[in-house]
Chain A
Amino acid sequence: MAAIEFTLNGKIQKVDVPSHMPLLWVLRDTIGLTGTKFGCGMALCGACTVHVDGQPMRSCVTPVASVAAKHVTTIEGLSSDHSHPVQRAWMEEDVPQCGYCQSGQIMTAAALLAKAPNPTDADIDEAMHGIICRCGTYQSIRRAIHLAAEYRAASVKGGAV
């Protein structure tokens, strides 16, 4: 066991777990934040995607020790009130079906927009290729990312972000 400290959704979080325990299971089982999902355990499906210092990371293969002193954001921390442009767009387009992969989709889309505020379809393909949705919401996801880019641009222009 090792005491590890990191920032989780803006607050200091201390855990006492094996240092090589994947961040996914620390979040879900130790801390109790279940919005981040288990899908494959091998970084193959993207359901477990979180942000580590703003970068999208597969938490199922990220040893918790590697996020020590870093900032981790999960779906629960994206906003407190669905106000993140990606969440707003996801609600407007009613993207989720079963919804299980959507935390990973949303976290990946949010990271994409932070890097590419006005992504092309090719940018979307590249960023989102690794996130599997068995319900087949891809067409809605693409539309929602373009819409989120508009929301984001409008709020930047309005000085809100």
Chain B
Amino acid sequence: MITQKIDRRSFLKAGAGGLLLGFYLPESGRLKAQTNAASKLNAFVHVGSDDTVTLFIHMAEMGQGTVTSLSMLLAEELECDWNKIRTEFPGVDRAYGPLQGVFGSRSIRTSWEPLRKAGASAREMLIEAAAENWGVGRDQCRAENGVVINTATNARLSYGRLAEAAAKLPVPSNITLKDPKQFRLIGTSPKRLDTPGKVDGRTLFGIDVRLPGMQYAVIARCPVFGGKVASFDAAKAKAVEGVKQVVEISNGIAVLADNTWSAMEGRRALQIKWDEGANANASSASIRKLFVDLAEKPGATARKEGDVEPALAGAAKRIEAVYEAPYLAHAPMEPLNCVAHVRPDGCEVWASTQIQTAARGVAAKVTGLAPEKVQVHTMYLGGGFGRRGGSDYIGEAVEVAKAVGGPVKLTWSREDDLQHDMYRPASYSRFAAGLDSDGWPVAWFTRIACPSFGGLQNGVDRTGVEGVADILYGITNILVEYHAADAGIPVSYWRSVGYSQNTFFTESFVDELAVAGGKDPLELRRRLLAKSPRMLGALELAAAKAGWGQPLPHGRFRGIAVTNNIGSFNAQVAEISVSQGKLRVHRVVCAVDCGQVVNPRGVEQQIQSGIVFGLTAALKGAITIDRGRVQQQNFHQYDVLRIDEMPHVEVHLVPSQNAPGGIGESSTPGIAPAVANALFAATGKRVRRLPIRPEDLV
């Protein structure tokens, strides 16, 4: 029974024939029974008597390399043997902060100090234990590669032999962290700890969890947002081989079976009448009209500097434009899923979730249990991109599990995923700018209509205006206004959030200003960023590495764009061609200043990843609405970038001693405007709505 704490030995003894596979265990390669007693030195570091060091990764691994980079922060100060590290995802604990999870590209930023301190604190306790053991002063001891060395005698005690005594010592208070010059691990690129299990199929994602007696569930939800079940007939569904039961939950009808496929077949056989509710007639056109109408009226002020109206009126030249972006789905490769087991006195969930605290909260709410009675097992995430910051699928699984008793695995199909996402909101924005007689911008105005999900402060949702309201360009008169446009479509965080559309708008419009003022796009940005040295540094590096201004092969064109988000500064130059109605992105040069770099290869991977994500959106991404429902059902209607479309991405780091910035969302916003600006250079046509369409290429 999973109600009991399963010790690792009996766990492993169950072996391959056992259903329950190591959610406590790290990825393969390091898969090894911990047969020894482990001593807890703090919430992040346990040391076993066999010298195994277990590092607790309190974030989630969704591909961004957190398991490796956070381990590096701990190990840098712990001075342990990197080859003897195991990692685990702990449960929800206040020791890991009030909101445990990964969002806002904050893993490194929020862990940079605390995890190095946790590593150093554990190391000091081990040294103290050794000093006591030898009866010498601690200044006569030093730690190195998993052992404490007596510098006078060369005697050595391994961490494993010291751990039990060390765990009983008081936690040291005054920790001095290494000077960056002494770093051995930070700034290097060791192999990712999670790779071996991801090349042999052993890594367990949420969808791979199997419990004894588990039933497999899928849910039929109303295709129209906000709709409900009016009535249903389950007779045919129950007749499907393998289907065990059908239950109604608040969000639809759940079909449970002895395998996922039978549950899906059962769902197909359900007969449901829906009450489609207020959104039954919503369409992309009706939503756009809502945005357009709102954008006619003054909105809430998101940023105001100087006095825009007279500056626009008095400008030598005035430029106006409207920019638009569609709804987008996240479409992580692992469809949403959750395993839940609800008992009268407690609840366990196994989930690939980005925010463990929220997962626990939703399970507590659905069951009526206290949060402390809910245990969250964090599994590897097959992609997140913001989607797994939501806990809707966890609530559903818990509700089904509560209804039927016994463990349940809820799986979403790809169709469920695309049709019931919490989407990147669509947006409609009006821009105006004034240039002086020398062609330099003197006034900037933006009015945004965009659905809100991040909460309003003085009428403004930061998620709707970031990327416009926080531009670093030195323009004397700036006014940015915002309208929260509630369109009835669920919306939420999507990799790089508001920057994902607003940086496209802003950086394309800046390009328009350069053209209107007769300036080179790099030259204009350089001038307007004179007082933002870090942004300027990234811009200069990208331009230099891309050979901006140098001749290109025939038919190739460049575009440039910058982003300042998540505490980092990103500049990109895209090199494209248009041939026979087809746009090809050949090369992207990306320079980033993300402060001190923990793992350069990890940064490179995230930059490439973010560019692919943004390029997919720029070239292909659109969720459209008709009759209140999403029209896209699967990847044939929501295509993504493929290997043959992958540009060559070069990553250049700006050397920096600043505290680390975020990286996972740094490169996503800039690629769309870099490509669109290159397209303008190629065709003279300005793309003002995404995705780029065939008619934009002629």
Q: Is A38 in contact with B335, judged by CB distance below 8 angstroms? A: yes
State whether the Cβ of B241 lies closer than 8 Å to any Cβ in chain A.
yes
Interface residue B198 (Cβ < 8 Å from any Cβ of A): yes
Contact residues, B485-528 vs A (CB, 8 A):
none
Of residues 61 through 100 on chain B, the ones whose CB sits less than 8 Å from some CB of chain A are 61-65
Q: Are A39 and B335 in contact (CB under 8 A)?
A: yes
- Closest chain-B Cβ to A33's Cβ sits at a distance in Å of 7
- Given that A32-B210, A40-B414 are contacting pairs, would A99 and B643 also be in contact in the complex, using a CB cutoff of 8 Å? no
Q: Which of B36-44, B298-306, B396-404, B601-609 lies at the interface?
A: B601-609
Nearest residue in A to B207 (C-beta to C-beta)? Answer: A38
Instruction: Say whether A87 contacts B200, CB under 8 Å.
Output: yes
Once A36-B201, A102-B198, A134-B332 are accepted as A-B contacts, the answer to whether A1 and B241 lie under 8 Å apart by CB is yes
A28-59 Cβ-contact flags toward B at 8 Å (1 or 0): 11101111111111101101000000000000
Q: Does B383 contact A (CB under 8 A)?
A: yes
How many angstroms between the C-alpha atoms of A18 and B261 in the bound complex? 10
Chain B, residue nearest A132 (CB): B640
A68, B664: Cα distance in complex, Å: 45
Interface size on A, residues (CB 8 A): 62
Query: B643: which A residues are within 8 A, CB to CB?
Result: 124-125, 128-129, 131, 133, 138, 141-142
Contact between A98 and B333 (Cβ–Cβ < 8 Å)? yes
**Does A96 contact B260, Cβ atoms closer than 8 Å?**
no
* Alpha-carbon gap, A150 to B126, bound state (A): 46
A29 touches B259 (CB 8 A): yes
> Interface readout for B379-423 with A: 1 if CB under 8 Å, 0 if not?
011111100000000000000000000000001011000000000
- B641 near A: Cβ within 8 Å? yes
Contacts of B413 in A (CB 8 A): 41
With A128-B643, A133-B333, A141-B643 known as contacts, the answer to whether A96 contacts B199 (CB < 8 A) is yes
User: Chain A: which residue is nearest B259 at the CB level?
Assistant: A29
A95 CA / B643 CA spacing, docked (Å)? 14
> Separation in Å of the B330 CB from the closest CB of chain A?
8
- Chain B residues with CB below 8 A from A100, complex form: 205, 332-334, 382-383
Cα–Cα, bound, A45→B260 (Å): 19
Q: Which residues of A contact B640 (CB under 8 A)?
A: 132, 134
A136 interface neighbour in B61, B65, B264, B609, Cβ under 8 Å: B609
Q: In the complex, what residues of B have CB within 8 A of residue A137's CB?
A: 605, 608-609
A87 to B601, CA, bound (A): 19
CB distance from A96 to the nearest CB of B (A): 4
Interfacial residues of chain A within 79-127, with CB under 8 A of chain B in the complex: 79, 82, 87, 90-91, 94-103, 106, 124-126
Does A147 sit within 8 A of B, measured CB to CB? no
Give the contacting residue for B636; candidates A1, A24, A44, A133; CB below 8 A.
A44
Count of residues in B whose CB is under 8 Å from the partner chain: 67
Which B residue's beta carbon lies closest to that of A17? Answer: B259
CB proximity of A11 to chain B, nearest CB, Å: 12
Closest partner residue, chain A, to B331 (CB atom): A134
Which residues on B sit within 8 Å (CB–CB) of A135? Answer: 63, 333, 383, 609, 612
In the complex, A132 Cα to B613 Cα: how many Å? 12
Q: How far is the CA of A81 from the CA of B261 in the complex (A)?
A: 31
Does B184 sit within 8 A of A, measured CB to CB? no
A128 to chain B, nearest CB (A): 5
A149 within 8 A of B: no
* CA A87 to CA B201, docked complex, whole Å: 11
Query: A37 — which chain B residues lie within 8 A by C-beta?
Result: 205, 207, 333-334, 382
Contact residues in B for A125 (Cβ distance below 8 Å): 643-644
Contacts of B195 in A (CB 8 A): 90-91, 94-96
- Say if the beta carbon of B557 comes within 8 Å of chain A: no
Q: What chain B residues lie within 8 Å of A36 (beta carbons)?
A: 201
With a cutoff of 8 Å between Cβ atoms, the chain B residues found around residue A72 in the complex are none
Would A35 and B334 count as touching, CB distance under 8 A? no
Q: Given A41-B414, A99-B382, A132-B635, 9 more contacts at CB 8 Å? A: A37-B333, A39-B335, A42-B635, A47-B333, A98-B62, A98-B384, A99-B197, A103-B201, A136-B612
For the complex of A and B, the 9 pairs showing the least CB-CB separation, nearest first, are: A35-B201, A136-B612, A100-B382, A98-B63, A99-B198, A97-B63, A75-B201, A125-B644, A29-B259
Complex A-B: 23 CB contacts under 8 Å: A1-B241, A17-B259, A24-B261, A29-B260, A32-B210, A36-B201, A37-B207, A37-B382, A44-B414, A45-B635, A47-B333, A82-B29, A90-B199, A94-B192, A98-B384, A99-B194, A128-B642, A128-B643, A132-B333, A132-B640, A135-B63, A136-B609, A142-B646
